[in-house]
């Protein structure tokens, strides 16, 4: 692909409002942007979804920077590739660090699509012109605040509402939302806050007609989830536990889940995300695209992968305005009646705004072949 330079940027964007999950609160969004350029002047953008602290998984902005700089970029210089699909096998000897791998892989996919004057969606084999999306609502300081947010986003047309739960913020919260909105598609995400000792309590969620309960048990578990699923009517959706096609295969074979949340960063890139998607289609396991509070660049990659046919459930890719006063891309991602229109322009289909990117850059470093 004749890569000429790779620029890493450590970014800081302030969110409109803090986002609280069972593992913590994020307000200042720290992340890495990757820009690759080729010798003819084409470029491609990727985003690492690793957080500042290792609370969702083991990766961080700091570890991703180190892995990109010292391992992944040098590996790419030593092994020129012709197609972004070659990145997954090239990076395979390096264990995990999936978010770092995905950020660079995503930039190469965008570059490749632009060179071929094709949208990333169609390059990946997607065919939807619009995608349905839901919204993920964090833990709030009061139930009233949450209820008014649910009302707001239901009013805006989001196709399903996900609420974050944790011990002490679970049954009464789900019950209140369900009572006020008896007909909405509703789900809960625990981000690993429970253990099998909570089986009874989690079983009480069955009466609220949830689409699914996401990652109730440990982040590294598929065994206990299989036991729990046998005791629940509500389908379990795995998020944190799935890092690869192999993880997905094992979880499905064991009956640990009925649904999978595919996050491109968590599984190491678009290539692996598509493989998991293809396998789940074959096994008739519905999938949807998760989110990590991305800027517009990561969001654009999520839009593209969601156009594959197996993404039959609304994802977490909400509008730019849900997170940011001003997103990094032109145009910003907008949601109308719960739908995002997939851009048809080449690559990710949204133009990164360099002035804003510069404004939010803490530090950057450029590497040349």
Nearest to 286 by CA among 304, 305, 307, 313: 313
Residues 6+ apart with CB under 8 A from 7: 34, 35, 37, 364, 365, 366, 367
Residue 306 C-beta: closest distance to ligand OSB, Å: 13
- Label the pairing between strands 339-341 and 287-289: unpaired
**124 and 84 Cβ atoms separated by less than 8 Å:** no
Site for ligand OSB contains 293 (CB under 6 A)? yes
Site for Mg ion contains 316 (CB under 5 A)? no
Q: Which residue is nearest to ligand OSB (CB)?
A: 291
Site for Mg ion contains 239 (CB under 5 A)? yes
198 assigned to a ligand binding site: no
Residue 68 is given by DSSP the state I
The interface with ligand OSB within residues 18-57 (CB under 6 A) comprises 21, 56
Residue 264 C-beta: closest distance to ligand OSB, Å: 12
Nearest to 112 by CA among 2, 195, 258, 26: 2
- Label the pairing between strands 24-38 and 43-48: antiparallel
Which of 102/191 has CB closer to ligand OSB? 191
Residue 181 C-beta: closest distance to ligand OSB, Å: 19
Q: Which alpha helices (DSSP H) does 14-91 contain, by range?
A: 61-67, 73-78, 87-91
Q: From the candidates 164, 166, 230, 233, which is the catalytic residue?
A: 164
The interface with ligand OSB within residues 121-140 (CB under 6 A) comprises 136
Residue 321 is given by DSSP the state G
- Whether the bond between 208 and the residue before it is cis, its omega within 30 degrees of 0, is no
Q: State which of residues 189, 221, 247, 272 lies at the interface with ligand OSB (CB under 6 A).
A: 189
The interface with ligand OSB within residues 227-246 (CB under 6 A) comprises 239
Site for Mg ion contains 26 (CB under 5 A)? no
Identify whether 164 is a catalytic site residue.
yes
Identify whether 162 is a catalytic site residue.
no
Region binding ligand OSB by CB under 6 A among candidate stretches 94-102, 142-150, 285-293, 361-369:
285-293
Residue 248 C-beta: closest distance to Mg ion, Å: 15
Residue 164 C-beta: closest distance to Mg ion, Å: 8
Which H or E element spans position 5? strand 3-21
**Full strand arrangement of the beta sheet holding 186-189:** 135-137, 161-164, 186-189, 213-214, 236-238, 259-262, 287-289
Binding site residues for Mg(2+), as ranges?
189, 214, 239
- Annotated catalytic residues are 164, 263
Binding stretches for ligand OSB (CB under 6 A): 21, 56, 136, 189, 191, 239, 290-293, 316, 318
């Amino acid at each position: 692909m004749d890569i000429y330079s790779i620029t890493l940027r450590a970014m800081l964007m302030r969110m409109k409002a803090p986002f609280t999950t069972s593992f913590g609160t994020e307000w200042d969004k720290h992340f890495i942007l990757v820009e690759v350029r080729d010798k003819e002047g084409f470029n491609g953008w990727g985003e690492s979804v690793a957080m500042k602290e290792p609370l969702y998984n083991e990766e961080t902005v700091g570890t991703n920077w180190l892995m990109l700089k010292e391992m992944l970029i040098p590996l790419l210089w030593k092994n020129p590739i012709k197609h972004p699909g070659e990145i997954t096998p090239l990076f395979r000897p390096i264990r995990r660090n999936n978010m770092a791998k995905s950020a660079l892989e995503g930039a190469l996919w965008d570059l490749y699509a632009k060179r071929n004057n094709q949208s990333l969606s169609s390059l990946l084999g997607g065919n939807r012109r619009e995608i349905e999306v839901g919204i993920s609502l964090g833990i709030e300081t009061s139930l009233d605040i949450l209820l008014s947010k649910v009302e707001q986003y239901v009013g805006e047309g989001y196709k399903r509402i996900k609420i974050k739960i944790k011990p002490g913020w679970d049954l009464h919260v789900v019950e209140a939302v369900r009572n006020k909105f008896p007909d909405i598609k509703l789900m809960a995400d625990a981000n690993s806050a429970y253990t099998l000792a909570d089986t009874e309590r989690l079983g009480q969620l069955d009466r609220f007609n949830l689409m699914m309960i996401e990652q109730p048990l440990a982040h590294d578990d598929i065994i206990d989830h299989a036991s729990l699923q046998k005791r629940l009517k509500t389908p379990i959706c795995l998020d944190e536990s799935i890092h690869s096609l192999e993880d997905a295969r094992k979880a499905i074979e064991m009956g640990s889940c009925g649904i999978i949340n595919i996050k491109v960063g968590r599984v190491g890139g678009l290539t692996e995300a598509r493989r998991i998607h293809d396998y789940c289609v074959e096994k008739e396991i519905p999938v949807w695209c998760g989110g990590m509070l991305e800027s517009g660049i990561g969001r654009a990659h999520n839009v593209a992968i969601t156009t594959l046919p197996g993404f039959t459930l609304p994802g977490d890719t909400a509008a730019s305005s849900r997170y940011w006063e001003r997103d990094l891309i032109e145009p910003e991602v907008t949601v109308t009646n719960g739908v995002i229109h997939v851009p048809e322009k080449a690559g990710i289909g949204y133009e990164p705004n360099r002035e804003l990117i510069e404004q939010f850059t803490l530090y950057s470093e450029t590497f040349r072949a």
